[in-house]
Structure 1
Amino acid sequence: MDLKFVNEEISSHSGYGAGPGVVISREYECPCGAGRVIYEKDDIPGFRDSGTFCKCKECDGKYNFGDGTATEK
């Protein structure tokens, strides 16, 4: 299912010696509507990583989350 988009923040980062990049943070409403799902992506040369975190105990146990999506476990 697609999650309801709430907010996006993009922050510049000077990098760690390999050049500058950005850190992207997107916030979504969780499926039950009571919590938030946060997607974070480090787009910094040599340190590209991403992760999705659910700040709702009920939904965190029921769903696997991606960038703006949720699927039942």
Structure 2
Amino acid sequence: MELKLLDQTSYPHDGYGAGSGTIDEYIYECPCGKGTVIYEKDNIPGFRDRSIHSTCKPCGEKYDFGRGTATQKN
């Protein structure tokens, strides 16, 4: 299922010696509507890390999250 985007922010980052970049954060509405799903992505040369987590424990146990999506766990 598609999640509703609530907010999007981009923060500048000096980098780690390979140049500067940004850290982008996307906040989505949780499938139940009671929490949020936060997707964070590093856009820094040489560092392409990303993380995603839910602030709602029941949905975190029930769904696997992607960038703006939720799929029910088997």
TM-score class, shorter: over 0.9
TM-score by length of 2: 0.96
The code of the aligned residue for 2:38 comes to I
Percent of residue pairs identical = 56
The code of the aligned residue for 1:27 comes to I
Q: For 1:31-64, what per-residue CA distance to the aligned partner results, in whole angstroms no more than 9, with x for missing partners?
A: 0000000000011011111111111011000000
- Structure 1 equivalent of residue 16 of structure 2: 16
Length, aligned pairs only: 73
What's the RMSD between the two structures over aligned residues? 0.5
- 2-side partners of 1:59 and 1:49: how far apart? 23
- 1-side partners of 2:45 and 2:5: how far apart? 27
| Structure 2: gaps of 5 or more residues | none
TM-score by length of 1: 0.97
- Structure 1 equivalent of residue 27 of structure 2: 27
- Structure 1 equivalent of residue 68 of structure 2: 68
